[in-house]
Structure 1
Amino acid sequence: MKTITICGSMKYEKEMRVIAFELETKYGYNVLQCVYNSEKKELTSLDLDALKKAHYKKIDISDGIYVVDIQGYIGSSVKEEIQYAKENGKEIIIHSIYNL
Structure 2
Amino acid sequence: MRHQSVHTTVSRPPIVVLCGSTKFWEQFTEAALYETVAGWIVLAPGCNLTQPHPLWADPAQADRLKQVLDDLHLRKIDLADEVLVINPGGYIGDSTAREIAYARSLGKPIRYTHPA
What's the TM-score, normalizing by structure 1? Answer: 0.87
Sequence identity (%):
29
- The equivalent position to 2:87 in structure 1, one of 51, 69, 83, is 69
Q: By percentage of residues, which structure has more strand?
A: 1
- After the TM superposition, list the runs of 4 or more consecutive aligned residues in structure 1 that deviate by more than 4 angstroms: none
- The equivalent position to 2:111 in structure 1, one of 60, 84, 93, is 93
1:32-75 alpha-carbon deviations (Å, 9 max, x no partner) = 01122375233522111110111000000111211011012111
- Give the equivalent residue in structure 2 for 1:34: 45
User: Is the contact made by 1:13 and 1:36 (CA closer than 8 Å) also made in structure 2?
Assistant: no
Structure 1 stretches lacking a partner, 5+ long: none
CA distance in 1, matches of 2:25, 2:81: 22
- Give the equivalent residue in structure 2 for 1:9: 21
User: Is the contact made by 1:8 and 1:68 (CA closer than 8 Å) also made in structure 2?
Assistant: yes
Q: What is the identity, as a one-letter code, of the residue corresponding to 1:61?
A: L
Number of aligned residue pairs:
96
**How far did 1:87 drift?**
0.3
The CA RMSD over aligned residues, in Å, is 1.6
After TM superposition, the structure 1 = structure 2 runs for residues 37-48 of structure 1, keeping only pairs within 5 Å, are 37=48, 39-41=51-53, 42=57, 43-48=61-66
Structure 2 stretches lacking a partner, 5+ long: 1-12
Question: Structure 1 residues 30-39 or 83-92, which shifts more?
Answer: 30-39
